[in-house]
Structure 1
Amino acid sequence: MGYKAKELTEEMLVKREERARKRRLQAAKKAEESKNQTIERLTKTSKAKVKTLRERKAKAGALPTVCYRNAASGITVSFPPGAALPLLSSIVTAPPPPTPCGVSGCPNLKRYSCSRTGVPLCSLDCYKKNLLLQQAAA
């Protein structure tokens, strides 16, 4: 093929070996740098997370908290010492009395309201009767 093997002198072999050694050292140095950067990046992230968690705990600890427990032994609600009970006793209001259907002659109670007139109605039949009465009146 016309390829001749070069005759290498002792000096050329030493230079070649030196260049190979430098390449190996440079590759090892680059790998070590990459590893250190990755470790630094990961530790910075975790330090930031730990810091924010500590700040959240500090903020949460400053406020009085109400503890609600629902266990087999019973339900308990506990307030921090010295905190006033935030729940005021409320007066129970009676529900409004049931409204009868607005169509004359219907004894049922209201379940719906007419969308057009607002008349209380109990069923679709009463709705139709109500619309007929409204059209007849108009």
Structure 2
Amino acid sequence: MAVYKIVTVPNEVLRTRAREVTSINAGVLKLLDNMRDTMYEFDGVGLAAPQIGVLKRVIVVDPGDNYMELINPEIIYQEGKQIGREGCLSVPGVWGRVARAQKVKVRALNRHNEMVEIEAEGLLAKVLQHEIDHLDGILFIDKATDLERED
């Protein structure tokens, strides 16, 4: 497949709300495959379509043990609180502490146009929230405290 270039700040596409996917067609399936390859190429744990310049509500995630493709994901439940260090492929060399829900339930479509619900906690919950934020034009630096730059 193909590996895309990662869009970085201050590109305005990162601040634009992505559009819902209305039809899961060959183009969306190719996008999913290429996003997977791009995420792995850059050693990411998640990637949202706006990060490659595509304004569609599509994310891929793999925190190390569970690859997922989610189309039109939405958080339908959240509880608890975790604070942890985050970075982002679209904000290279910057890290910060971000407060997120400890547990989430996400509803989305998979590549087969089936509705799925994912219950997640810990790292997977954090990654899902981070990537869904991208779909709404929100970056982790908008929520982070103690921002630091790598030298």
Give the TM-score normalised by structure 2: 0.14
Give the TM-score normalised by structure 1: 0.15
Say which structure is richer in helix: 1
Higher relative contact order (CA 8 A, sep 6+): 2
Say which structure is richer in strand: 2
